[in-house]
């Protein structure tokens, strides 16, 4: 790790916002020092990481706003990561959301970061997780990760959270859709927002019936009713988050901090680091020769990859590269 990066980490730990923002950019861009930064901040801080997901139009942003206000009222420091892996077709109104959150911009104890898909979706999920951890290390008590829409990408991103709230609205078919979309498997809390609308009692009943079919696992998934625009039901929501955090602590079943999570994270980082070294070695004359043949079409890409993996001396040479910046 370069001295400047080490300094950034120290400054971030002391609460400097600019240093935090710079480190976020570093991990978002998956720069060479990402793993070293993440290793350096490992175990620092202790935040509840909350995921909020649900279909477009469910009022997630208004809910996030009301929730932030409530948490600040309780004196908790809040970090927000707004992730948009989807296209505008799915109905996100990102600009509007940002404007709505502006009242928190002057609050030193709220830090908001937007992330969108630049490269691969897998990269976005890893960047989101790392940005959330930076917020934790910077001293936030609660880190909220919000996604626009509900696709496979959003499900991937939600894996980083300790507690996931799935937000639905009282509209026909939403329950069935939620099941199909795999939301039932990831929800720790269901929120029926816009609960002043027709059909809210019906969707609550449907969800509860659906939840009764699950095998019991120590945590009863609550179905809460909110009207985010009037801040109704927000107290109960914060209480449910706290109860779930208690449950994770007492049962030791916090998935993010569990053995399985650490294992898959280790493997993902390992793949990333090795990939980075390979890309860093692209100009190496020995690999360059093979790459040249691939680019000219003289060897097929699969055959060439197998050839390289089978050439231990070359492979070892590549992995000794520092990785590209």
In the complex, minimum distance from the CB of residue 25 to a copy of itself, in angstroms, rounded to a whole number: 18
320/325 Cα distance (integer angstroms): 15
Q: What are phi and psi of 297, to 5 degrees?
A: 85, 10
Q: Hey, which residues between 286 and 305 contact a copy of itself (CB under 8 A)?
A: 291, 294-297, 300-305
One residue of 18, 172, 201, 306 binding a copy of itself per CB under 8 A? 306
CA distance 262 to 71: 29
Of the candidate residues 210, 284, 315, 324, the single one contacting a copy of itself (CB under 8 A): 315
Burial 294-308 (b: 16+ CB within 10 A, else e): beeeebeeeeeeeeb
What's the rounded Cα separation, in Å, for the pair 204 and 175? 9
96 binds a copy of itself, rule: CB under 8 A:
no
Question: Nearer to a copy of itself by C-beta: 15 or 88?
Answer: 88
- Helix, strand or coil, per DSSP, at residue 109: coil
Q: Any bridge partners for residue 78, and if so which?
A: 110, 142
Cβ proximity to a copy of itself: between 152 and 209 the closer is 152
By CB under 8 A, tell whether 46 contacts a copy of itself: no
- DSSP letters, 262-273, are HHHHHHHHHHHH
Q: Which stretch binds a copy of itself (CB under 8 A): 17-25, 32-40, 65-73, 207-215?
A: 32-40
- Sign of dihedral through CA atoms 119, 162, 43, 115? positive
CB closer to a copy of itself out of 243 and 293: 293
Does residue 193 belong to the site contacting a copy of itself (CB under 8 A)? no
Do 3 and 9 touch, CB atoms closer than 8 A?
A: no
Nearer to a copy of itself among residue 68 and residue 153 (C-beta): 153
Q: How far apart are CA 44 and CA 256, in angstroms?
A: 15
Nearer to a copy of itself, 90 or 229 (CB): 90
User: Judged by CB, which is closer to a copy of itself: 236, or 265?
Assistant: 265
For residue 241, which of 98, 101, 63 has the smallest C-alpha distance? 63
Residues 127-156 that bind a copy of itself (CB under 8 A): 149-153, 155-156
Restricting to residues 63-82, which ones interact with a copy of itself according to CB under 8 A?
none
Q: Does 44 bind a copy of itself (CB under 8 A)?
A: no
Positions 207 through 266 that interact with a copy of itself (CB under 8 A) = 257, 259-260, 262-263, 265-266
């Amino acid at each position: 790790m370069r001295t400047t990066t080490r300094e950034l980490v120290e400054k971030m730990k002391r609460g400097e916002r600019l240093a935090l923002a710079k480190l976020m950019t570093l991990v978002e861009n998956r720069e060479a020092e990402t793993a070293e930064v993440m290793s350096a901040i490992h175990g620092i801080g202790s935040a509840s990481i909350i995921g909020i997901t649900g279909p477009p139009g469910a009022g997630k942003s208004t809910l996030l706003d009301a929730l932030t206000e409530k948490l600040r009222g309780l004196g908790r420091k809040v970090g927000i990561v707004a992730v948009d892996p989807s296209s505008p077709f799915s109905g996100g109104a990102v600009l509007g959301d940002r404007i709505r959150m502006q009242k928190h911009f002057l609050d030193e104890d709220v830090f908001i970061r937007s992330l969108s898909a630049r490269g691969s979706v897998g990269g976005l999920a890893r960047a989101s997780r790392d940005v959330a951890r930076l917020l934790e290390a910077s001293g936030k008590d609660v880190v909220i990760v919000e996604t626009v829409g509900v696709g496979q990408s959003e499900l991937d991103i939600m894996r980083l959270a300790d507690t996931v709230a799935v937000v639905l609205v009282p509209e026909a078919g939403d329950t069935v859709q939620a099941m199909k979309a795999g939301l039932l498997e990831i929800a720790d809390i269901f929120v029926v927002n816009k609960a002043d609308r027709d059909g809210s009692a019906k969707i609550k009943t449907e969800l509860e019936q659906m939840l009764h079919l699950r095998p019991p696992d120590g945590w009863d998934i609550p179905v809460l009713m909110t009207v985010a625009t009037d801040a109704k039901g927000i107290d109960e929501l914060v209480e449910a988050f706290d109860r779930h955090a208690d449950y994770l602590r007492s049962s030791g079943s916090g998935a993010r901090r569990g053995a399985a999570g650490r294992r898959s994270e280790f493997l993902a980082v390992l793949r990333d680091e090795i990939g980075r070294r390979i890309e860093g070695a692209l100009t190496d004359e020995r690999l360059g020769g093979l790459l040249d043949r691939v680019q000219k079409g003289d060897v097929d890409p699969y055959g060439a990859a197998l050839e390289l993996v089978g050439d231990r001396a070359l492979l070892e040479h590549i992995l000794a590269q520092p990785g590209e910046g």
